[in-house]
Amino acid sequence: MNRITSEALYELLPAVHRLRDADQGEPLRALMAVLAREGAVVEENIEQLLDNLFIETCADWASPYIGGTIGYRTLHQIEGTDVGNRAEVANTIGYRRRKGTAAVLEQLARDVTGWPAHVVEYFQVVATCQHMNHIRPAHHLGPDLHDPLDLEPLNKAFDRVSQTVDVRSIQQSPGRESIGGTHNLQNIGLHLWRLIPMQLTRAPVREVDATRFLFDALGAPRQLVNRPAPEDTIASISAPRHVPGDLTRRALDADVAEWYPRAFEIFVDGVGVPLEEIEACDLSDDGVGWNHVPPNPPEGEVAGVRVDPELGRLAFPEAPAGEVLVSYHTGFPARIGGGEYNRAEGLAGLPEAEVREVPSQHATIQAAIDALTDAGGIVEIASNDVFTGNVVISVADGREIVLRAADGFRPILRPANPMQIEGGEDGRVILDGLVVEGQRVNIREMGDVSLKEVTLRHCTLIPGRRLTETGAPQNPNASSLTVNTVGLELFLTHSVTGPILMDETTNAEIRDSIVDAAAADSGDSAEARAIRGTGGVNQPAGALTIIASTVIGRITARAFPLVSNSILFARSPGPGAPIRALQRQAGCMRFSWVPQDAITPRRYRCQPQLSIDQAIAVAEESGPVSQMVRQLIIRRITRWLVPSFTALSASHPAYCQLRQAAPLEVRTGASDESEMGVYHLLFAPQRETNLRIRLDEYLRFGLEAGIFYET
């Protein structure tokens, strides 16, 4: 198709007009350029009209209209996630042709929630007396105790062990917190994997000694997970290879080729270790060493590389001849913090900014920063390496410097000294996609001048600065970010950080992030201090705006202009309020969990205060309520209405994820009925509601379905 261009339009004009136009400075050519630009818009719109006739190519707004032609019922829209209705509309006719089958229910769960799914028809694993004319030899009453591999998925999605009938309703089981009521003839189980397989490609390992290494360069134990293989059609039931489940030692030992190199791969001096040299092994601690470390092989023989996928460890029979790199996957609830996930939308950068690349142009980060001119610019790191050099960012007045990881990379900064950021009065600094280990990030004054703005986006400042071999913080309560400037605007988005110390004049906005006090015991983090002033333990930080975030620990702030859809998880073991604002007249807290004894601005529909007010209002319907009864109501509700997390350790895959047994008031208490806290952006309650709506349409009559979360 011929495109409308300014030159094509200009050539259509008579030559005499073009000659006159040239004499007058070509204003007519400029007019043709404007017309061509608008014509291109019309031309593109015409082409899009044809694309909008097909679900595969239509615009997002057209999907419901195409679905309407086949009687598709729209669901709750989930903004800002990968979940859409395009795949479901495309497969609707196929769904209806196979309506009620397990394969359709499984694919439907995937399309509606965006989570990998596996469907279990429990009548197949209920212990029954078989008819002698229809014997099922594989249907045993008891498991084969000689094969531990069959026992590994017990009470999980791929459990094939028969159990006696349980007549309780399957819908009474709240996720994985209870498994009662599953095994019955009319029950269908939909098992979902919520954790995202986060990929790391050719990343460095953490060396323990010459032959022993950890997959994670941060030094923490890591459970490896499978990278799901695609299914060919919607007519098949998923297998373990199709879901991001945990990779176990027995599963790897049973079939190495099934998982290597899809789930993980090991490289020595840039060359992948052959499949036949990979051995599954238990490399757990044995005193000062590891169990089953391979011995040196006899001359002429080749010993395998032993891998423990449950701890993220590998051991060579002898010191490898080159650098060891690994590609692997671990689970995490959302795409926040440093990672290889897609961050392209946030990498638009500065217009006409100077870009310095590491390591292709400069060997070190500091060399690339120093090479920038006074106009500022971008330093982009296109590597998964560990950078040990010190970093000092100094930006000129009115300029901006961006230090970022290239899309698809997760560099680790491990400086010997704190990372320093300073600059002129109107200077701006952005850190994007980085992991900082071992030291804090210190924002300081340059002379008597302070920066205007610092943004941390998709960054991880390790809580506790480092992780031990057990995954605990190496430096409990040590600050990860300090602000020693006056009047700074601090923005923290899609990030994970340890304790924050800031000047009282700082204005900070924390959005879709985790701030963890990083106590020695993760269970005590809520008693440690997460955000406070730089002047001392009881000194206030600046004004805090916290939106859809989880803060683990006590907070002392000058003011809270806005706290929304967040969890401020803190306790008061000693004197003083766990959350305290000096200025209570200004600001608002809404749709958040805030400790009952916190000193804050006005709260609107915050828990547990909302439930307490509702309970007191119900009691007052029968007459006046005494002060003693009010106190009993407050104590009763505050005792149980507390967020409960799957894990509070930064090394755990389900870090800060709400348990399914957490109070419903927290799991659906946000302003849009999503969950409070950092994973509000996942809209998990809406996904589950959409799935239940679809089950009413596609579930066979007489069957009952339950939803179970594997992760």
Sequence-distant (≥ 6) Cβ neighbours of residue 614 within 8 angstroms: none
Shared-domain flag, residues 127 and 231? no
Position 302 scores a pLDDT of: 57
Q: Which residue type, as a one-letter code, is found at position 691? A: L
Shared-domain flag, residues 235 and 321? yes
Shared-domain flag, residues 367 and 500? yes
Shared-domain flag, residues 40 and 88? no
Position 1 scores a pLDDT of: 46
Task: Give per-residue burial for 260-281: e unless 16+ CB within 10 Å, then b.
Answer: bbebbbbbeeeeebeeebbbbb
Give the residue from 669, 480, 648 showing the smallest Cα distance to 552.
Answer: 648
β-strand pairing of 603-604 with 588-590: parallel
477 close to 229: Cβ distance less than 8 angstroms: no
Q: Is 705 within the bounds of a domain?
A: yes
Judge whether residue 105 has pLDDT over 50: yes
Position 593 scores a pLDDT of: 97
Q: Which residue has the higher pLDDT, 143 or 401?
A: 401
603 three-class SS: strand
331 close to 225: Cβ distance less than 8 angstroms: yes
- The confidence band for 59, taking pLDDT boundaries of 50, 70 and 90, is confident
Position 340 scores a pLDDT of: 95
Shared-domain flag, residues 188 and 240? no
Position 79 scores a pLDDT of: 67
Judge whether residue 88 has pLDDT over 80: no
Q: Is 245 within the bounds of a domain?
A: yes
Q: Which residue has the higher pLDDT, 98 or 433?
A: 433
Q: How far apart are CA 405 and CA 434, in angstroms?
A: 6
Q: Mean pLDDT over residues 463-492, rounded? A: 94
Judge whether residue 507 has pLDDT over 90: yes
Q: Which residue type, as a one-letter code, is found at position 38? A: E
Shared-domain flag, residues 510 and 570? yes
Judge whether residue 226 has pLDDT over 80: yes
Shared-domain flag, residues 480 and 379? yes
Position 594 scores a pLDDT of: 96
Domain residue limits at 412? 344-603
Give the residue from 340, 427, 442, 338 showing the smallest Cα distance to 390.
Answer: 442
User: Tens digit of pLDDT for each residue in 607-648?
Assistant: 999 999 999 999 998 888 899 999 999 999 999 999 999 999
Q: Which residue has the higher pLDDT, 240 or 71?
A: 240
The length of the chain is 711
Q: Which residue type, as a one-letter code, is found at position 308? A: D
Position 176 scores a pLDDT of: 45
Domain total for the chain?
A: 4
Shared-domain flag, residues 394 and 539? yes
Judge whether residue 2 has pLDDT over 60: no
User: Tens digit of pLDDT for each residue in 293-350?
Assistant: 887 665 655 568 999 999 999 999 989 999 999 999 999 999 999 999 999 887 766 6
Position 12 scores a pLDDT of: 80
Alpha helix segments (H runs only) across 4-97? 6-11, 15-23, 27-51, 63-68, 86-97
Position 417 scores a pLDDT of: 96
141 close to 208: Cβ distance less than 8 angstroms: no
Q: Is 649 within the bounds of a domain?
A: no
- The confidence band for 80, taking pLDDT boundaries of 50, 70 and 90, is low
User: Tens digit of pLDDT for each residue in 663-694?
Assistant: 999 999 999 999 999 999 999 999 999 899 88
Q: Mean pLDDT over residues 274-301, rounded? A: 83
Q: Which pair of tokens denotes residue 684?
A: 């998990």
Phi-psi region of 203 (alpha: psi -120 to 50; beta: other; left: phi over 0): beta
Judge whether residue 351 has pLDDT over 80: no
Judge whether residue 173 has pLDDT over 60: no
Q: Is 504 within the bounds of a domain?
A: yes
Sequence-distant (≥ 6) Cβ neighbours of residue 69 within 8 angstroms: none
Q: Is 618 within the bounds of a domain?
A: no
- The confidence band for 31, taking pLDDT boundaries of 50, 70 and 90, is confident
Shared-domain flag, residues 360 and 495? yes
Residue with tokens 């015409």: 46
122 three-class SS: helix
- The confidence band for 19, taking pLDDT boundaries of 50, 70 and 90, is confident
Q: Mean pLDDT over residues 164-184, rounded? A: 71
Residue with tokens 């400069």: 362
Q: Mean pLDDT over residues 555-584, rounded? A: 91
Position 348 scores a pLDDT of: 63
Q: Which residue has the higher pLDDT, 136 or 390?
A: 390
Shared-domain flag, residues 507 and 450? yes
Q: Mean pLDDT over residues 491-504, rounded? A: 96
- The confidence band for 51, taking pLDDT boundaries of 50, 70 and 90, is confident
Q: Is 319 within the bounds of a domain?
A: yes
User: Tens digit of pLDDT for each residue in 192-212?
Assistant: 999 999 999 999 999 999 999
Q: Is 694 within the bounds of a domain?
A: no
Q: Mean pLDDT over residues 89-97, rounded? A: 78
Q: Is 650 within the bounds of a domain?
A: no
Name the average pLDDT for the chain.
Answer: 89
β-strand pairing of 206-207 with 212-214: antiparallel
Shared-domain flag, residues 541 and 560? yes
Q: Which of 59-73, 110-124, 327-341, 475-489 has the lowest mean pLDDT?
A: 59-73
- The confidence band for 569, taking pLDDT boundaries of 50, 70 and 90, is very high
Q: Which residue has the higher pLDDT, 29 or 642?
A: 642
